[in-house]
Amino acid sequence: MKTKLIALNGGEFVIKDSTASDTFIPEEFNEEQLMIKDMVNDFVDNEITPHIAEIEKQKDGIVPKILDKAAELGLLGTHMPTKYGGMQMDTNTNTLINTTIGRGGSALVSFAAHTGIGMLPLLYFGTDFLKEKFLPKLITGELKAAYCLTEPTSGSDALAAKTTAVLSEDGEHYIINGQKMWITNAGFADVFTVFAKVDGEKFTGFILERDMPGITFGAEEDKLGIKGSSTRQVFFENVKVPKNYVLGEIGKGHLIAFNVLNIGRFKLGLLTLSGAIESVNVAANYANERVQFKVPIASFGAIKYKLAEQAIRSFTAESTNYRVSKMLQDKEHELMESGVSYADAKMQAAEEYAIECSIVKVHSSEVLDYVVDETVQVLGGIGYSEEFPAARAYRDARINRIFEGTNEINRLLMVDMLLKRAMKGKIDIVGPAWAVQKELASMPSFAKAEGPYAAERKALSNFKKIILLVAGAAAKKQMDKEINLEQEQEILMNVADIMIDTFTAESLLLRIEKLAQMDNKKVDQEVYDALLKVVFYDFNDHIAKVAKDAIVSFNDGDLLKTFLMGVKRFTKYPTVNVKEMRRIVANAVIKANGYPF
C-alpha cells in the first residue's frame, strides 16, 4: 500500500493551507505506543528522579550508568536500523519517547547528545566499516558518543574552525591538532565526531576514539544549569587518526554539521516541550496546595492567568511538534518507498523540513523559558530555593536558546532558507506575493466568515499574506539594491517571528479541528476552543506589531501607507474576552492538578 503523499513541502506552509487530516496529534497514539510512553515514564521515575542530587554532582559516574539502563530498555536505538541492533521505530513513536523522557532534567542532555549529534553523523555519513564498528556498541551503551564542533573562536560561524588535519607521510593517517570546547559527554564519551580542516582549509568530519594518544581533556565546566551533564574542553595534539575514519567526503564536513543540526533542533524542541509540561504540573500542584487568605492560591485570578498561559503555550508547542513529526515521518516513508535507504531518508526528510525544525526549536525553547519562569513565580520563595525542582528547571532551561544554533541564528536561517527555496523554484512565493499586492489595491470584502473555526481560518490566511507582504517588500528592496538584507537582521527577525506565529497557530488549529471530531478527549471541547481563541487573539496583535516594525524600517511615502493599511487589513481577528477564556483553561489545569491534555 502506497503512503499518501505529504501535503506540503518544506516552507510551503507560507503559501498553502493544510487540513486536519494532514497532521498527527498525541490523542491518536495507539495502545502499543502508550505502553512505550508508560515504560519511559517508569524509567524516569525510577532511574532518574530519585537520584537528581547525585546527577547534579555527577557522582560516581551516575550519568553513564543511566545511559546503560536506557540501553537495556532499547532507548538508545529506537531510531537506529535493525541491521545494527536498533529498533527502527517510526518517527511519531520516537517523538513520543523524546517528549516523555525530556522531563528527566540534565541527565537527558547526555541522552540527547549520545542518541542525536553523537550517533547521527555515523548513521548519515559513516562508511559501512564505521557503522558496523561503532553503531552496535553505541546502541547497547557499551560505547558513549560526543560531538566536537565548537571552538574558542568558532561558534555560530562553525566553518571558522582552526583545528587542522594533515595527511601523514605514509598516507595512512591524518594528524589532528587543535581544541574543542563546550563538548557534552566529554567526561566519559568513547567515540567523538570531530571537525577539522584538512590542510588548513577543507572542513571535514572524522571519528576519533578516546584512547587515541594525544587526546586530553579539560576540567568539567562550572555551568549555570544542566549540571548533571558532562561538559569539557577536548585537546588534540598530533593525534593519529586512520584514514578510513573520515566521515563523508574531504571538504564536505559542513554537510554533516548542517544535516545533523536539522534533526537535532527538532529533537531539542521535543525535550524542551517535555520539560515545559512537567513544569506546568509542578506549578499547578503547588497552586492547589498552597493556602493564603484561607483559600488555595489557585483560586486567585492572577495565578489562574499564569496556569492558563503555561498550559496554552505548552499545548501549542505540543501541537506544532507532532505536526512536524508527521511531516518528517511521511517524507521518510515516501523516500524509502522510492528506494532510498533508511538513513538517507531520515537525513533528507530533516533537510526538507529544516525551516520547520528551526521553528520547533525556537518556539519550544522559548515556551519552556516562559513556563519555568512562571513556575518559580507561582511557587514564590520556595521556587527560588534549590531544595525544590523549580529552581533547577529554571537554570536548566536557559541553555536551550543557545544549543543547536542560537535562537537568533535559527530565526535568520529560517528566512534565508525560505528565500533560497523560492529562488531555486522549490516554492512559488512570487505569484502569491503579487496576489497580495493586487488584493491591497482592491476593496476589502466585508463578508462574514462562516462555519466551524471560520474566523481562525480567515485569520490564518491573513497571517500568511502578511508574511508575503513583508518578506516580498524586503526582497524587492534588496533586488533594487536599496538595502542589504544580510545587514538588516532586525527585519529578518521580524519576518521569522511572523513565520513562527503563523506555523504554530496553524498547527494548533489543525489539532483542535481534529479533536472536535473525536470522542476520546481529555477535556471538554470548550477548553480547546478557549485556548485557540486566546492564541489567535494574541498572535494577531503580535504579528501586527512586528510587521509594522519591519515595514516602517524600509518603506516611506505612499508605499509605506499602503503596506501599513495592508497590515491593518490583515489583522482583523475578532475581539476576545481573554480573561474568561484563560479562566476556562485554568480551571481545567486546576481540576487535573497539572497539564490536563
**Catalytic positions, please?**
404
Which cell is 464 given?
A: 500568511
SS (HEC) of 168-198: CCCCCEEEEEEEEEEEECCCCCCEEEEEEEE
CA distance 99 to 102: 6
Indicate the Cα dihedral angle 395, 401, 403, 405, nearest 10°.
-170
CA distance 32 to 93: 10
Q: 363: how many CB neighbours lie within 10 A of its CB?
A: 25
Which cell is 44 given?
A: 524516569
Question: Which of helix, strand or coil describes residue 536?
Answer: helix
Residue entry with cell 581544541: 179
CA distance 404 to 409: 10
Which CA distances in Å does 153 have to 149, 181, 215, 503?
Answer: 11, 10, 20, 35
Whether 77 and 139 have beta carbons less than 8 Å apart is answered as yes
CA distance 120 to 147: 10
Residue entry with cell 528566512: 415
SS (HEC) of 115-147: HHHHCHHHHHHCCHHHHHHHHHHHHHCCCCEEE
- Our CA angle for 232, 237, 260, nearest 5°, is 50
**CA neighbours closer than 13 Å in the CB half-sphere of residue 38:** 7
Dihedral angle sign, alpha carbons of residues 408, 412, 414, 417: negative
CA distance 486 to 248: 30
Contacts of 334 (CB under 8 A, 6+ apart): 3, 5, 6
Which CA distances in Å does 189 have to 53, 117, 193, 393?
Answer: 22, 13, 11, 25
Contacts of 491 (CB under 8 A, 6+ apart): 470, 474, 483, 485, 550, 553, 554
Which cell is 395 given?
A: 537554570
Rg, the chain, Cα only: 25
The H-or-E segment that residue 247 falls in is strand 246-247
Residue entry with cell 513565520: 499
The H-or-E segment that residue 288 falls in is helix 253-289
Whether 175 and 238 have beta carbons less than 8 Å apart is answered as yes
DSSP state of 224: S
CA distance 472 to 411: 17
Which cell is 537 given?
A: 487573539
The H-or-E segment that residue 291 falls in is strand 291-292
